[in-house]
Structures are given as C-alpha cells and as structure tokens.
Structure 1
Amino acid sequence: MPVDTNLAHFSDLAYQTAVVIYLLALALAAIYYGKQANTVASRVRRSPAAATVGNTRQAAHTTTVLDSPTPDATTNGASTGGKTAHKLGAMSQSLVWLALLIHGASVVLRGLATARFPWGNLYEYISLTTLIAMVIAAVAIARKNLLVMWPWVLTPVVALLFYGGTKLAVAAGPLNPALKSYWFPFHVSVVSIGAGVGMISGVASLMYLVRLRQAPGKEHGFFGRLVKPLPSAQTLDEIAYKCAIWALPIFGLGIVLGALWAESAWGRFWNWDAKETVSLITWLLYAAYLHARATTGWRDQKAAWINIVAFATMVFNLFFVNLVVSSLHSYAGLN
C-alpha cells in the first residue's frame, strides 16, 4: 500500500512540535525548580531564628510553617513569589499534557500514513517508548509536591527525541520484510511499554541516590543546592520500586513474545543473539533490583544502583547493539 505523504508530513510536523513544547515545558520546569530551591534555602536560613523565640507556642507554630510543603511565606513578597512559582509548575505540567497529545498524534498519524503499526524502525521505536514514558510520568508525578521532578524526567526524554529526530529519522515507508510477522506488533509494543516504565524507574532511582546523599536540611555544595527541591528519598524510592514492579513482568513478556517470533522466523526460540542476550541481562537486573529491594542490607543504595545499571543496559541495547553490533536484529535501525 502506498504511503500517504500528507499524513506522513503531518506526523513529522507533530513530532517536531512536540519536541519544541517539551523543551518549553523543561524551561519552565527548570525555572520552577530554581525558585523552589531558593524557597527551601530561605526556610533553612529562617529556621534557627524561629528556634530561639521565647514563646514556645509561637516557636512551634513558626517551625510548622517552615516545614510545610507550601513555599508561601508570611510576607507579601514571599507569598507573591510562592504563587508565581506554583503558576510556573502548573504551566509546565499543562505544557507536558499538550506535548503528550501532539506526540501521540504523531505516532498515530505515522501509522495511518504507512497503514501499519508505527514502530518499524529505531526512530519510531524511540518515539513510542518516550511517549509511554511521558504518559507514565505525567500520571505518577501529577501531584503538586512532585512537580519538581519534571526537569529530571524531561531532560533524558528531550535528549532521546532530539537524537531520534535528527540522527535516526527516516521517511515514512513500508515495513522491512524481515519485520512482517504476526508477532511484530505484540513483541515491539510490549517491549516499548516495559522500556518506558523502566526509564521512569531508573530516573527515580538516580534522584533517590542523590537525595540520599543530601538529606533534607543538610544539603551542602553544588549537589546540595541541586537537590534541595526534591521530595524525600523514601518518596523517590517508592516511585522507582512501583515502576519496576510493572517493568519486570511487562519487559519479560516482551522477551517471551520475541522468542515466539524467533521460533516462527528462524526455527529456534533462542539464538543468543546480541540483542536477545542484552535484553535478558536487563530483565535479570530488574529482577535482581526487586529482590535486593526486599532484602535487608540491600534495600538502600545497593538496590538503587542495580536499578540504574538495568536502565543503562537498556539504553546500551537500544543504541549500541542496534547501531553498532552486527546481529540478527540489525535491521531494527533501518526502515
């Protein structure tokens, strides 16, 4: 079936528009993040003075205000600054949802233009995976006290989309003959979902490790200022853990579906191909993370490092194995 060039053009335009809006959301989120860092720093500076207040009840009240997650202070200027910061956070969240809608339209239009499932090459796969990651992130960190996480999430997403759109973009076209199989839509879509969930889990574990080394109220140095606005280590760890709980079975199902496809295409369920092997290693690392997370003595930094290594392995599989290593899956980077 011939490609609908008009729909393909609108798909590419939607992709580019989504990247621009994600960048705007990242800029606003970064400004909001900086304002929140200043707010936390000002609370810390005021805290010792509050502790010396002679009236115990007044001191307790002041401390409660300082420890509140609401950044607004009692002064009119600080209150106005707090409202401005909240508006920036809300605007960045709104831009994320707008970008998500346009990003989703790009994927759908690509499929309609080519009359196939729109994840037949690395450009389309990255678009789908980042879309899923952003949907998960938008739902997971929609609460006001978690909006400060957006710069950490948007940065790798924007980087992936920019690289995919500039270095990996290919014209819309028919599916590579090697990918024409009943298993294609099931295997690739499930793996994409697992990868998207794993991406959010890995980023959350990275934030958790940084926050763990810089406890709230005891931040110091450059990294201390960088992590001041972040939620508690426990909150970040819970987000990473809950995402990994979903990533493990979904990614595992994707591997199983890939094995079934391999059996129908090559007559063997498993060939120890580079992509198969690294995918299995990634899945085992997620399993190891969940096991470590439930094991005394491994629950803190050690488990988080395993999760980060799992995410890094997935990224390695996405780029190095697809684009550099010669394997049975080398066509994944081609149209």
Structure 2
Amino acid sequence: MILAAGEELADLSNTLVYSAMAVYAIAFLAFVAEWILGSRSKVARTAAALTGEGDAAAAVPAQASPVVTVTKGGTTSVLERPRIVTRSGAPGRDDVPDGPGASGGDVRGDTYGRIAVSLTVLAFLLHLGAVVVRAVSVERGPWGNMYEFSTAFSMTVTGAFLAFLAARKNVRWLGLPLVTTVLLDLGLAVTVLYTESAQLVPALDSIWMWIHVPLAIVCGGLFYVGAISSGLFLLRDRHEAKVAAGEEVKGWSASVLERLPSSVSLDKFAYRINAAVFPVWTFTIIAGAIWAENAWGRYWGWDPKEVWAFITWVAYAAYLHARATAGWKGRKAAYLAIVGFVCFLINYYGVNIFFDSLHSYGGV
C-alpha cells in the first residue's frame, strides 16, 4: 500500500513537471513578444544619446553643469563645477546609461513582460510542487539522482530570478534566456535523465545529503545567473565599443543590445552574485569532504567529482582575483566567470555520465 502511494505521488510529480513545462513555454512566448513587439523609439533615442546625435544628445549637453554661486555675509563665493566620475566596461570609454529594458519602454511591450512574469510565477509554483511531491514520494531529499538534481536546479534558477524581481531589481531582461534554458533543462531531465523514484544507496543516506547537495544546487543556480550576466556583458560591451568608435550599428541585434543594462551594470551584477556565492561554494566543498570521511573513511581521494569541484573553485577564485587586478577587469574577468560555470557543468554532467566515479549516482 505504501509503495503504491509512493508511485501515485511520483506520477503526480511527473504531471506537475509537464504542467510547469507547458506554462514555461507560454511564458517564453510572452518574453519573446516583449522583446519583439515593444517599441523601439526609446531605444533609438538611447542610441542617439550614445552617438551624440539627435534630440536626446542635444537635451543633455556635455558641459551642461552650471557654475554655482553662494552668497554669505555680503560676499559671493564661486563653487567649482562638480566632477563627473566616469565608469566603463572598457578602459577609456565614457559613462553609458542603462538601456530601457526588454520592452523598450513601450506600454504594449511592458504588458507582455508582465504577462510573462506572471506565467513564470505560475510555472515556478507548479515546478516547486513537483519537487516537493517527489520528495514526499521517495521520503528523502529530492536530489538523489541526475533527474531530481536537474529539476531542483532549474527550480532554484527560476526562484532566484523571481526573488530578484521581488526585491525590485531591474532584471526582467534575464527572463528570456533564463526561461529558455529552464525549458531545455527540464526537457533533458524528463527524456534522457529520467529515473524512477527509488531509495538512496547507503553512501548517500546521511544528514549531509540535506546540507551538501542543496548547497551545491543553490550555488549552481546562482552561478548560472552570473554566467548569463557575464555573457550578456560581453555582447553589450562589444556593442558599446563599436558605438564609441563611431561605427554604425543596425539590425535586430543592435536593438536588443541597446535595451540591456550598460556593460558596467551587467558586470557589477555578475560580480556581486559570484562574490556572494563563492564562500558558500567553498563551504559546499568542505561539507562534501566531511561527508566523504563519514562514508568512505577519507576526506579527499582525488575522485573525478572532487577534482572538478576543486577546478570550479579555482576558476571562480581566479575570477575574483582578476576583478581585483587592474589588468584583468572587464572582458577577461567575464571569460573566467563563464569558464567557471562550464567547469560546474562538467562536474555535474561529465562526471556523472562519462567518468568512473564514486559520485556517479546519475541513474542513466
């Protein structure tokens, strides 16, 4: 009877996953509509401001700051014009404002964006329900194999996106690439990686299952958000460099890139996420070592999973060091952030599928 109930719950979990995928797909279409159907007029004005042409540039002259006078005790003092501190994604480039967002500042585009976010919230709730029901069906943490890890990972990614939105962060531009990859991840999970609900192997039956693995999922989800930001930074930074050099930029790609936050904003966003997650990833590796000592009698054995977890740690440590080094800021540091996330993916997919490892509990 208990086994039958567990199977019924597992089937319900699968139904919820497929339902979430259907809603994610509709949200994807709404995000696409936000980008495509949103007005480009505001984007055009932003581009004109960057190139120094048009009304937008005329409205904000380069030397518009007036001299300020202060009268006190019958005398007049003249204050110096305030200095403008520039910021740039590449050395020598003037400050570039953030783009208007995915919708381009258009009411219709904004409406599609709000619909997309609402659908993403609904999909997340279905997704969360699927993970929770799976946990109840197996009576353990829902991350004992690659299928469960993948569903929990993509749920964490979506949850992080919605949490940033709830905190009133300007991150709706993340919606389209994020929902796209969540759909791909769930599609891979329910086809290639799917595993029937089952109990854990003895080595995994530990309290550390509730510490090490969830932390790895959270770190991976946030590292992914940072990787998307770094990738978009590289695209936006190249676009800004062309504009600053006076090159003519046209087409849909230019329209999309001009709506994104500036390269500086994207770079800072990625850095803050990666810097905040790095200490947690460090603790995750330490927790895994403690778990290994409890399970196998040694803290570190250079198992492929341990090796790639360490390589991932080194990659992000190099990224943070690069950010603190003048010659490695900007594009070079962004490449390191992307390399770090690729190492995380190898640690997850590569080790579980292609390596002979004590950690190969993929079930595929």
One-letter amino acid of the structure 1 residue matched with residue 203 of structure 2: A
Q: CA deviation at 1:176?
A: 2.6
After superposition, the C-alpha distances for 1:106-131 in whole angstroms (9 at most, x for unaligned) are: 11100111111111100100111111
1:260 to 287, 290, 310: 290
- Tell me if structure 2 keeps the 8 A contact 1:37–1:229: no
Distance 1:229 1:262, change over 3 A: same
Mapped to 1, the partners of 2:107 and 2:309 lie a distance apart of: 46
One-letter amino acid of the structure 1 residue matched with residue 214 of structure 2: S
- Tell me if structure 1 keeps the 8 A contact 2:43–2:100: no
- Report the counterpart of residue 107 of structure 1 in structure 2: 131
Mapped to 2, the partners of 1:153 and 1:301 lie a distance apart of: 22
Distance 1:158 1:242, change over 3 A: same
- Tell me if structure 1 keeps the 8 A contact 2:45–2:56: no
Gaps of 5+ in 2: 65-97, 244-248
1:246 to 270, 276, 279: 276
2:29 to 17, 27, 35: 27
Distance 1:71 1:178, change over 3 A: closer
Mapped to 1, the partners of 2:185 and 2:195 lie a distance apart of: 15
Matched, 1:188 2:213: yes
Query: What secondary structure, in the 3-state scheme, does the structure 2 residue paired with 1:183 have?
Result: helix
After superposition, the C-alpha distances for 1:18-48 in whole angstroms (9 at most, x for unaligned) are: 1121121111111111234734554368774
Percent sequence identity is 33
- Report the counterpart of residue 135 of structure 1 in structure 2: 159
Q: CA deviation at 1:255?
A: 0.9
Mapped to 2, the partners of 1:83 and 1:11 lie a distance apart of: 38
What's the C-alpha RMSD, in Å, of the aligned pairs? 2.9
User: Where do residues 10-89 of structure 1 align in structure 2 (5 Å cutoff)?
Assistant: 10-36=12-38, 38-43=40-45, 48-50=53-55, 69=100, 82-89=106-113
Query: What secondary structure, in the 3-state scheme, does the structure 1 residue paired with 2:207 have?
Result: coil
Query: What secondary structure, in the 3-state scheme, does the structure 1 residue paired with 2:194 have?
Result: coil
- Report the counterpart of residue 163 of structure 1 in structure 2: 188
User: Where do residues 260-279 of structure 1 align in structure 2 (5 Å cutoff)?
Assistant: 260-279=290-309
1:292 to 300, 319, 322: 322
Greater CA radius of gyration, 1 or 2? Answer: 2
Matched, 1:206 2:231: yes
Distance 1:95 1:56, change over 3 A: closer
Distance 1:289 1:255, change over 3 A: same
Query: Could you tell me the TM-score, scaled by structure 1's length?
Result: 0.86
Query: Could you tell me the TM-score, scaled by structure 2's length?
Result: 0.79
Q: Which has the higher helix share?
A: 1
One-letter amino acid of the structure 1 residue matched with residue 6 of structure 2: D
2:331 to 289, 293, 301: 301
Query: What secondary structure, in the 3-state scheme, does the structure 2 residue paired with 1:4 have?
Result: helix
One-letter amino acid of the structure 1 residue matched with residue 192 of structure 2: K
Q: CA deviation at 1:286?
A: 1.1
Distance 1:333 1:234, change over 3 A: same
